[in-house]
Chain A
Amino acid sequence: GAGVSQSPSNKVTEKGKDVELRCDPISGHTALYWYRQSLGQGLEFLIYFQGNSAPDKSGLPSDRFSAERTGGSVSTLTIQRTQQEDSAVYLCASRVGGSAPYEQYFGPGTRLTVT
């Protein structure tokens, strides 16, 4: 079946511009996560959504970052007034909801370059 998809795969933007990154999770997965991976670094949690609950935004690095998830499916991560330090690969993951230790399925990521 279809996995997690993300678009665009690559995005180059000028410093100060806003960008939107999209994630299409696996159908039926109620939990959705955003992570980012800077060059040579590990993955850093940003935000996650679980069903209709309020999202956990504890990993967002600044108020320039926001995300929404419409209709419990597609999610958009928005970065306003991009800075060069925002350059990274942004990864989305989804999983079946619930308390069992189900695995997360990751998309291929969006590589963001801020010039």
Chain B
Amino acid sequence: DAKTTQPNSMESNEEEPVHLPCNHSTISGTDYIHWYRQLPSQGPEYVIHGLTSNVNNRMASLAIAEDRKSSTLILHRATLRDAAVYYCILSGSGNTPLVFGKGTRLSVIA
């Protein structure tokens, strides 16, 4: 699987938007961009995924660069419950296992 690069940590104020970047310069044409997050003492949970177009769901938005070499996860209004490690993962279609990197640890300040 292609490699992703994320900042080790980020900090945000509560109720402010958060932009979590991810670089994936070696992405292949068939790789989907997935985001998962892991809250303290819990298993990871799915956030969002996309291929080429920007995506929105109830949790977040995913902005994908035109050349697909980077993407940004956007939390529109951070809450204390959004404090977690966020993982950006590339995966082809199908059942292949996810390859987790170190992710970005997001801290949210009240």
Binding site for B on A (CB under 8 A): 4, 31, 33, 35, 42-45, 48, 50, 56, 59, 91, 93, 95, 97-101, 103-109
Contacts and interface: CB of A to CB of B under 8 A. Distances in A.
Interface residues of B, number: 21
B15 to A, nearest CB: 27
Contacts of B94: 98-99
Contact of B49 (A56, A103, A105): A103
Contacts of B91: 101
Interface stretch (B17-25, B38-46, B63-71, B72-80): B38-46
A42 B87 CA distance: 10
A101 B33 CA distance: 10
16 contacts: A35-B100, A42-B101, A42-B103, A43-B44, A43-B98, A45-B97, A91-B43, A93-B44, A95-B95, A98-B94, A99-B94, A103-B34, A104-B98, A108-B42, A108-B43, A109-B43
Nearest to A58: B97
Contacts of A106: 43-45
A104 B46 contact: yes
A108 B100 CA distance: 17
A94 to B, nearest CB: 11
Given A42-B102, A56-B97, 6 more contacts: A44-B100, A45-B97, A45-B99, A59-B97, A101-B51, A104-B46
Contacts of B100: 35, 42-44
Contacts of B99: 45
Interface in B24-64: 32, 34, 42-46, 49, 51
* Nearest 4 Cβ contacts at the A-B interface: A106-B43, A103-B46, A43-B100, A45-B97
Contacts of B98: 33, 35, 43, 45, 104
A20 B83 CA distance: 32
B102 to A, nearest CB: 5
